[in-house]
Amino acid sequence: MPRAPDASALAALKAAAGQGGWLDSDADVEPYRSDFRRLYRGATPLVLQPADTEGVARVLALCRRERIAVVPCGGNTSYCGGATPDESGAQVVLSLRRLNRVRHVDPADYSMTVESGVTLAAAQAAASAHDRLFPLSLGSEGTAQIGGNLSTNAGGTAVLRYGMMRDLVLGLEVVLADGSVLHGLKSLRKDNTGYDVKSLFIGAEGTLGVITAATLKLFPAAKDSATALVGVATPQAALDLLAHLRAAAGDTLSTFEIMPRFAVELTVRLVAGVADPLGMDAAWYLLVELTSPNPEAGLAAVLAESLGAAVERGLVADALIAASLAQAQAMWKLRESVPEAQRRYGASLKHDVSVPISALPRLIEAGCALVERLVPEGQVIGYGHLGDGNLHFNVSQRPGTDAAAFLARGPALEEAVFDLVEGLGGSISAEHGIGRLKAGELARRADPVELAVMRSIKAALDPDGILNPGKVLAAPR
Ligand code: 2HG
Ligand code: ZN
């Protein structure tokens, strides 16, 4: 069991982290005490921020020797409290912020190696500077870091075409709990040499080791794109349109996002600079994007033709294809500002869930019925990544209702939503991870054999339980 570090252990940790490698003033530590959604407020005596892999290795070797718990932290944008220390004041935070070098871009190999503290936006820019695409894309990309993206197996808006973070990784460098370094920065597409060890650390939220660098897959840069905002009457029509567009546009279909009209209304009202080009006529809005590395792909025409055919089939109520980059950016801003609008609107209950794509209409319909029954103060805003089956089934507090009463309904609603999702063959965490928020639910709902395998892996790699305790795997009762 980990224990609280004493003064000499703290001094040794500072020395291990090297010059500029730690923060302990109240003001400097403050941002690390709480999570992005302000669900948790923890305490820590020290934030370590070594500058390189060797520094991380020295810190972890010491933590292992002294049995000090470590909470790895990237951009601190976790939705599940995955990077926040607990309330004990005994856990130290390990920020990967200074490991922010792009080590190598190899355009001919379609790969690049970046350190964990590189922001997702900086990684995208590094690829782009070599005429390549790193396709992971999400709202917090300016702040979120590659290490956190890996540790939560992040998703975002291009999963339909490129997969999640796990699908974009070729190799990893990881510091293990005893300070040893796993040097796995290979860029091979084919490598059948035993177990896929790197895969263990992806989605593990720093509970099995600390990722310090990754070799990532690159793709040809996009040279043509077409973006549209499409209005449809029902989620089923959206699903039918997805199949229609996949048939017409094939692999060029990169994004297929859904938002209810209420989400659009809120966003236009509460976030400066957001407009609704469709005029809020449709019940459901879709953001659709095609991209291709071929500048002559003629995607605007492909999109116009296929949407025209969808109108004739009665699938589409209204559609607007962006006529300029600025218009496409405005459509993206509308979609990406929905979480901010929801935040501004008031308290919310969030469920990041996935189901087989074909079950999405059923999830939305049954989920709305649950909210009506269980949360009289609530208003559903279910939006997200329809193209990959991930819905953010969120509920906002209606204005004029009591926030405490609304929030008190959270556990009962969550239980019902997760039951519904499980019944549909879905997952209680699609892309935001488990963190502290869902560790109890995972322990309760995961297949017992799978959970036992997870616990064996944890025991093998972190026998003293110093790595991000209480995250992903709740302490056994
Ligand atoms: C998104 O898709 C993010 O916009 C955030 O995953 C979702 O705030 C949310 O619930
Ligand atoms: Zn999302």
Distance 339 CA to ligand 1 centre (A): 6
Atom of ligand 1 nearest to the CA of 140: 3
Token readout for 300 is 């605007």
Protein residue with its CA nearest to atom 10 in ligand 1: 392
Atom of ligand 1 nearest to the CA of 155: 6
Same domain as 85, residue 109? no
Cα–Cα distance list, 49 to 13, 70, 71, 212, 267 (Å)? 11, 12, 12, 12, 37
Pick the ligand that lies closest to the CA of residue 139.
Answer: 1
Return the percentage of the chain with pLDDT > 90, whole number: 97
* Length reported for the chain: 477
* Sheet-wide strand order for 111-115: 102-106, 111-115, 210-217, 169-175, 181-184
The pLDDT of residue 455: 98
Round the average pLDDT of the chain to a whole number and report it: 97
Protein residue with its CA nearest to atom 6 in ligand 1: 156
What average pLDDT does range 371-378 have in this prediction? 98
Residue 394, ligand 1, Cβ within 6 A: yes
Within-domain flag for 309: yes
What average pLDDT does range 81-85 have in this prediction? 98
Protein residue with its CA nearest to atom 5 in ligand 1: 339
What average pLDDT does range 336-364 have in this prediction? 97
The pLDDT of residue 442: 98
Q: Is the pLDDT of residue 476 over 70?
A: no
Q: What is the CATH number of the domain that holds 207?
A: 3.30.465.10
Q: Which of 403, 423, 443 is the last residue of a domain?
A: 423
Cβ atoms 134, 150 nearer than 8 A: no
Same domain as 157, residue 183? yes
Pick the ligand that lies closest to the CA of residue 338.
Answer: 1
The tens digit of pLDDT for each residue in 261-274 reads 999 999 999 999 99
| CB count in 10 Å sphere of residue 477 | 5
Same domain as 89, residue 145? no
Looking at the 3D structure of the chain, how many domains does it have?
Answer: 4
Residue 339, ligand 1, Cβ within 6 A: yes
Protein residue with its CA nearest to atom 8 in ligand 1: 339
Same domain as 242, residue 133? no
Same domain as 144, residue 200? yes
**Which residues have a Cβ under 8 Å from the Cβ of 225 and sit 6 or more positions away?**
289, 290, 291, 292, 299, 328
Cβ atoms 47, 92 nearer than 8 A: yes
Same domain as 86, residue 35? yes
Closest CA to 275 of 264, 286, 283, 284: 264
Half-sphere exposure of 85 (CA within 13 A, CB side): 27
Cα–Cα distance list, 78 to 289, 353, 382, 428 (Å)? 27, 16, 20, 16
Atom of ligand 1 nearest to the CA of 394: 10
Pick from 39, 153, 338, 353 the residue to mutate for probing ligand 1's pocket: most ligand atoms within 8 Å of its CB. Answer: 338
Within-domain flag for 308: yes
Closest CA to 405 of 393, 397, 395: 397
The tens digit of pLDDT for each residue in 421-462 reads 999 999 999 999 999 999 999 999 999 999 999 999 999 999
Return the percentage of the chain with pLDDT > 70, whole number: 100
What span, in angstroms and rounded, lies between the C-alpha atoms of 415 and 261?
26
Q: Is the pLDDT of residue 415 over 60?
A: yes
Specify the long-range contacts of residues 368-371, CB closer than 8 Å, at least 24 apart: 370/413, 370/416, 370/417, 370/420, 371/395, 371/413
Q: What is the CATH number of the domain that holds 369?
A: 3.30.70.2740
Pick from 79, 140, 393 the residue to mutate for probing ligand 1's pocket: most ligand atoms within 8 Å of its CB. Answer: 79
Q: Which of 314, 338, 362 is the last residue of a domain?
A: 338
Within-domain flag for 153: yes
Domain span at residue 408 reads 346-423
The pLDDT of residue 336: 97
Q: Which of 220, 254, 285 is the last residue of a domain?
A: 220
Same domain as 377, residue 267? no
Within-domain flag for 289: yes
What span, in angstroms and rounded, lies between the C-alpha atoms of 451 and 447?
6
- pLDDT bin (cut points 50, 70, 90) of residue 184 is very high
The pLDDT of residue 131: 98
What average pLDDT does range 392-418 have in this prediction? 97
Q: Is the pLDDT of residue 278 over 90?
A: no
Atom of ligand 1 nearest to the CA of 336: 4
- pLDDT bin (cut points 50, 70, 90) of residue 477 is low
Closest CA to 348 of 37, 35, 13, 2: 37
Protein residue with its CA nearest to atom 2 in ligand 1: 384
Cβ atoms 445, 418 nearer than 8 A: yes
Cβ atoms 406, 347 nearer than 8 A: yes
The C-alpha R_g of the chain, in whole angstroms, comes to 23
| CB count in 10 Å sphere of residue 367 | 22
The tens digit of pLDDT for each residue in 120-132 reads 999 999 999 999 9
- pLDDT bin (cut points 50, 70, 90) of residue 355 is very high
DSSP state of 76: S
